[in-house]
């Protein structure tokens, strides 16, 4: 099952069973394989698990499954060197291979840094030699949250630090003439991971390397949020043609990750014939750092405002005030008042028909221009023009003129009129199969022409399942938002529930950290080291805390890797032994060995003690 080059993008998952439990691991591996996985990764935290990989592999082969196996190694060279003789690939984490975090040294001189590299070379070389001898592949997999002390000292936990961390190991491999390498740069923040992979590609090109890439967002969580976060990160890179294998890390059964991964990947197998997008002459977007595109503020759209959310509901879905509770506007008849939730959209598009009741003040209406023109009361309503109408009309709004266009509508006259109209907001559409790239091309043109008009990115999806809607829209819109492009998003999905479309819209803004409206959960996918039922615990914590807007809570299965990998969480709930939990505030441990039956209450006490609690 070769990887890279012109091979298809491979998908994979990882077992969560105890690696010493051969039959449980074999049976879970089979479920993963049957779901369509190309590879199965199994954790080997110590030598005894690495040895047991032999039994697992033998049993799988006996049952007729030839799928390549990958041993996941942290810290222990002897486990890696044994596993490399047994399975098809080993994964090492350069942040902790032969390296325990001490943080005793705060300043590395050049000489100390060189000595560290020499020490790593000595510890890593035997593994490379075994891999060479046995024809075993290797993933050098950097994690944002577990960089080595020397990297942290020199580069901080930056994308550059992540890239250097991997390249230090790659250079050793190259010196030993070993090239069966794949690289990864995972982080729980999609933006960090996108920048790290892009930087890795650029640095590899500089050094004449072109190793394949394994893509993943770590600790993405579960359900809709986990899928959005994964699609925002992995999708953005696949959109750019980067990535040879992917793993979607969800806090769910590992076989549930595979259909999600396949759905994400399949989109890119069908793109070959997309409509041509004009070449880019000068690219004003920095791929390695997000800088929001500079736009003029137009009635709270653009400028420094968070991106707005526009919905286009079927009319029945908003024809009565009660129906709006699906989109976070709850009407109380008795009090004649609206209760407005954190995920309440800013605009609804009604086309050619008005509702018969007064909408809440924060929800404005967009109508087709011809309908809007005839309205007596235009105070909360704005026109949506076609390019032709926009150029021809003399009657525009004095607040916002939404201009619905796609790349082919732009011409000199339109550019001129946009430049003269400080009330214009572009609604950018696309029918291109490679729509993100076409829309990005329009942004580039606007930037190069120094047009600071705000842009709402609009995408339409028909005949897609709810899960496809989540993945596709997160990849399409998230990619642009991650690059600082877009002052609003507008997802049309007439076949899917409006409630879902609204929730996805806010989920994408949350995952790209452009508009925070929810609690953020960073939960590991679990593996053989996990000390408690992650799915159940995550659900329990969610129920109690999902109203804490902007608070980041990490739920990690083990104390070995958990604290390192929970990245920028505000609070951490980490398994520290059977039935025991440790709680963290940021990276600092605040309470150890708590009985798991009271640990969720203790977590809430900790959040309260730090002033981050609000009543629901």
Residues binding ligand SF4 (CB under 6 A): 524-527, 529-530, 556-558, 560-562, 565
Is 167 or 215 the residue whose CB approaches ligand SF4 more closely? 215
Q: Which residue has the tokens 């046995």?
A: 134
Q: Is the separation of the CB atoms in 277 and 244 below 8 Å?
A: no
Q: Which residue has the tokens 């592949």?
A: 137
> How many other C-beta atoms lie within 10 A of the C-beta of residue 279?
6
Is 53 or 426 the residue whose CB approaches ligand SF4 more closely? 53
Say how many CA atoms lie within 13 Å of 43 toward its Cβ: 20
Is 138 or 560 the residue whose CB approaches ligand SF4 more closely? 560
CB of 434 to ligand SF4, least distance (A): 34
> Would strands 580-585 and 571-577 be described as parallel, antiparallel, or unpaired?
antiparallel
Query: Residue of minimal CB distance from ligand SF4?
Result: 557
Is 456 or 534 the residue whose CB approaches ligand SF4 more closely? 534
Is 479 or 523 the residue whose CB approaches ligand SF4 more closely? 523
CB of 190 to ligand SF4, least distance (A): 18
Is 249 or 473 the residue whose CB approaches ligand SF4 more closely? 249
List the one residue out of 395, 359, 360, 399 whose CA is nearest residue 382: 399
In what side-by-side order are the strands of the sheet with 181-186? Answer: 181-186, 137-143, 89-92, 69-73, 39-43, 10-14, 245-246, 214-215
CB of 137 to ligand SF4, least distance (A): 21
User: What's the angle, vertex CA 584, arms to CA 582 and CA 589, rounded to 5?
Assistant: 75
Q: Is the separation of the CB atoms in 67 and 29 below 8 Å?
A: yes
CB of 52 to ligand SF4, least distance (A): 17
Token representation of residue 261: 């991964």
> How many other C-beta atoms lie within 10 A of the C-beta of residue 185?
29
CB of 302 to ligand SF4, least distance (A): 40
CB of 116 to ligand SF4, least distance (A): 24
In what side-by-side order are the strands of the sheet with 571-577? Answer: 520-523, 552-556, 571-577, 580-585, 588-595
Is 214 or 529 the residue whose CB approaches ligand SF4 more closely? 529
Q: Which residue has the tokens 């508009």?
A: 515
> How many other C-beta atoms lie within 10 A of the C-beta of residue 352?
10
CB of 570 to ligand SF4, least distance (A): 18
Strand ranges in 295-380 using DSSP code E only, listed in sequence order: 308-311, 329-332, 337-340, 347-351, 364-368
Rg value, the chain, Cα: 26
Dihedral pair phi/psi, residue 547, rounded to 5°: -100, 0
Rounded CA separation 375/517 (Å): 34
CB of 157 to ligand SF4, least distance (A): 17
Is 244 or 565 the residue whose CB approaches ligand SF4 more closely? 565
CB of 40 to ligand SF4, least distance (A): 15
CB of 556 to ligand SF4, least distance (A): 4
End-to-end alpha carbon distance in the chain: 51
CB of 475 to ligand SF4, least distance (A): 24
Rounded CA separation 208/211 (Å): 10
Q: Is the separation of the CB atoms in 523 and 251 below 8 Å?
A: yes
Is 318 or 558 the residue whose CB approaches ligand SF4 more closely? 558
Say how many CA atoms lie within 13 Å of 535 toward its Cβ: 11
Is 471 or 524 the residue whose CB approaches ligand SF4 more closely? 524
Rounded CA separation 342/468 (Å): 25
> Would strands 10-14 and 39-43 be described as parallel, antiparallel, or unpaired?
parallel
Is 475 or 581 the residue whose CB approaches ligand SF4 more closely? 581
CB of 16 to ligand SF4, least distance (A): 8
Q: Which residue has the tokens 């891999």?
A: 131
Is 430 or 561 the residue whose CB approaches ligand SF4 more closely? 561
User: What's the angle, vertex CA 479, arms to CA 309 and CA 262, rounded to 5?
Assistant: 110
Rounded CA separation 310/326 (Å): 14
CB of 572 to ligand SF4, least distance (A): 11
CB of 575 to ligand SF4, least distance (A): 7
Q: What is the DSSP string of 434-488?
A: THHHHHHHHHHHHHHTT----EEEEEE--S--HHHHHHHHHHHHHHHHHTT--SE
Is 143 or 195 the residue whose CB approaches ligand SF4 more closely? 143
Is 488 or 564 the residue whose CB approaches ligand SF4 more closely? 564
């Amino acid at each position: 099952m070769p990887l890279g080059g012109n091979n298809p993008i491979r998908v994979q998952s990882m077992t969560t069973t105890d690696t010493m439990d051969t039959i449980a691991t074999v049976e879970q591996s089979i479920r993963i394989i049957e779901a369509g996985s190309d590879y199965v990764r199994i954790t080997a935290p110590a030598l005894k698990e690495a040895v047991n990989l032999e039994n697992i592999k033998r049993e799988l082969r006996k049952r007729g499954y030839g799928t390549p196996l990958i041993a996941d190694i942290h810290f222990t060279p002897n486990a890696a060197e044994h596993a490399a003789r047994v399975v098809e690939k080993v994964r090492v984490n350069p942040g902790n291979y032969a390296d325990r975090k001490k943080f005793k040294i705060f300043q590395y001189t050049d000489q100390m840094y060189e000595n560290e590299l020499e020490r790593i070379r000595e510890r890593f070389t035997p593994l490379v030699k075994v891999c060479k001898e046995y024809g075993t592949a290797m993933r050098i997999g950097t994690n944002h949250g577990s960089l080595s002390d020397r990297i942290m000292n020199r580069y901080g936990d930056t994308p550059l630090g992540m890239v250097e961390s991997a390249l230090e190991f790659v250079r050793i491999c190259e010196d030993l003439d070993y090239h069966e390498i794949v690289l990864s740069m995972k982080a729980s923040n999609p933006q960090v991971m996108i920048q790290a992979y892009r930087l890795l590609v650029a640095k590899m090109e500089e050094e004449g390397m072109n190793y394949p890439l394994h893509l993943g967002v770590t600790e993405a969580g579960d359900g809709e949020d986990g899928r959005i976060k994964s699609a925002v990160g992995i999708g953005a890179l696949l959109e750019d043609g980067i990535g040879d294998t992917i793993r979607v890390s969800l806090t769910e059964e590992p076989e549930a990750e595979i259909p999600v991964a396949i759905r994400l990947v399949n989109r890119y197998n069908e793109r070959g014939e997309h409509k041509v997008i004009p070449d880019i002459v000068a690219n004003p977007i920095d791929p390695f750092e997000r800088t929001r595109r500079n736009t003029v503020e137009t009635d709270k759209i653009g400028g420094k405002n968070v991106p707005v959310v526009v919905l286009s509901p079927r009319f029945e879905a908003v024809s009565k005030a009660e129906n709006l509770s699906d989109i976070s506007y709850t009407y109380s008849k008795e009090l004649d008042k609206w209760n407005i939730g954190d995920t309440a959209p800013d605009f609804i598009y009604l086309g050619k028909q008005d509702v018969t009741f007064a909408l809440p003040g924060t929800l404005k209406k967009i109508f087709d221009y011809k309908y809007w023109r005839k309205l007596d009361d235009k105070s909360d309503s704005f026109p949506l023009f076609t390019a032709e109408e926009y150029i021809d009309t003399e009657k525009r709004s004095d607040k916002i003129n939404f201009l619905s266009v796609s790349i082919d509508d732009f011409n000199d006259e339109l550019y001129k009129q946009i430049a003269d109209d400080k009330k214009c907001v572009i609604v950018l559409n696309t029918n291109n199969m490679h729509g993100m790239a076409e829309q990005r091309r329009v942004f580039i043109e606007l930037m190069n022409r120094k047009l600071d008009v705000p842009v709402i990115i609009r995408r339409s999806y028909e005949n897609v399942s709810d899960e496809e809607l989540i993945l596709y829209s997160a990849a399409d819109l998230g990619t642009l938002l991650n690059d600082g492009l877009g002052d609003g998003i507008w997802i049309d999905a007439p076949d899917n529930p409006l409630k879902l479309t609204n929730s996805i819209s806010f989920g994408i803004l949350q995952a790209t950290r452009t508009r925070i409206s929810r609690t953020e959960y960073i939960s590991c996918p679990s593996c053989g080291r996990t000390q408690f039922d992650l799915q159940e615990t995550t659900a329990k914590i969610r129920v109690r805390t999902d109203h804490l807007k902007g608070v980041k809570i990490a739920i990690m299965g083990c104390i070995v890797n958990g604290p390192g990998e929970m990245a920028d969480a505000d609070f951490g709930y980490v398994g520290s032994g059977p039935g025991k939990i440790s709680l963290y505030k940021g990276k600092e441990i605040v309470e150890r060995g708590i009985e798991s039956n009271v640990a969720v209450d203790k977590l809430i006490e900790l959040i309260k003690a730090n002033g981050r609690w609000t009543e629901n």
